[in-house]
Amino acid sequence: MSTPQPLALQDFGPDLHVMEEDAAPPPSVEILGIPLAITDYARTMDWMDATIVDGGQGYVCVAATHTVMACQEDPELRHAVVNSDLTVPDGQPLVWAMNALGHNLTSRVYGPDLMAQYCERSVGTGTKMFLYGGRNQGALVQLALNLRRRYPGVQIVGGYAPPFRALDAEEQEAITREINASGADVVWVGIGVPKQEKWMATMRPRLKAPVLIGVGAAFDFHAGLIPQAPPLLQAAGMEWAYRLFREPRRLWKRYARYNPRFVTGFAKQWAGQRSR
C-alpha cells in the first residue's frame, strides 16, 4: 500500500475555492466574554486542513464551561483563549447557551471525538501529527499505539510528555527544535486547562506546524487510562457528574466553584440580551 501524501493545493482541483473559504475561521458568539465558534466537527476539520494547505499558522482551543469561567479569573488564560483562531464549544452546556442566544448548533465539538475523527480523516490526506502531553512517556507511547491500531496509516511523527513543572529555557528550545524537525502539520496538545492554552499562545510564533490544538483529557481517554462518560450522559450535559464520580478528590472544587457561577453569569447575559 502506498503511503498517503501530504495535502497540497493541486489535490483539490476545481474545489480549491471551497478550501480558501474554509481557511477563514467561522463566525463566533460571545459567552461571558469568550468568543465561541459557531461550528461543527466537519467545519472545524475543514479549517484545519485549509490552514495546512494555505501555509497558515493558528491554534485551536477546545472549551468547556470550566475554561470559560477560568478565563474570568486568569488574565493570561483569557488572553490565550481570546487570541486563538478558533475556540470551539466542547461542553454541551455551552451549546445550549449559544442556541439560547439564537443560534442552531446541533452538537458540541468534543475534543476527544474531534481528535478521533481527524485522525481518521488524516489517513487519507497524509497529515502528519505530533503528540505533546500525556501523564508520562509510557502513557504517550500507549496513546500513539492505540491511534495507530485504530487508524492504520495515521502518521504520528513524534511525541513528548513534558514534566508537570514549567519547562526551562533550554528544555523549551529543545522541544521547539524537535517539533519543527518532525515536519508535523498538527500538534495535538494534551496538558490540561489552563496550561495547554498558555503553551500554545507562547509557542505559536516558534513552531512551524500550521495547527496547534489543545484537547486536554483526550490523551487519557484515547490511551485507555480513563473511561469516557456514556453517550446518554454526554448528551444530557452530565459528563461533569460522571467525571466527578470517577475523580472526586481532583475535580470537586472545580465543579463546585465554576458550575454555579456559569449558570448565574449566563442567566444575566441572556436576560440582558432579551431586554435589549
Q: What is the pLDDT of residues 200-214, one digit of tens each?
A: 999 999 999 999 999
Domains of the chain by residue range: 9-223
Lowest mean pLDDT among 107-111, 141-145, 243-247: 243-247
The mean per-residue pLDDT over the stretch 253-266 comes to 89
* Residue 3: predicted pLDDT: 43
Q: Per residue in 146-172, pLDDT tens?
A: 999 999 999 999 999 999 888 899 999
Provide the 3-class DSSP secondary structure of residue 149. helix
pLDDT of the residue at 20: 58
Distance CA 21, CA 47 (A): 9
For 34, residues 6+ apart whose C-beta sits below 8 A from its C-beta are 63, 67, 68, 71, 78, 81, 82, 87
Beta bridge partner(s), residue 187: 130, 212
pLDDT at 74 over 90: yes
Average pLDDT of the chain, as a whole number: 90
* pTM for the whole structure: 0.89
CATH architecture of residue range(s) 9-223? 3-Layer(aba) Sandwich (3.40)
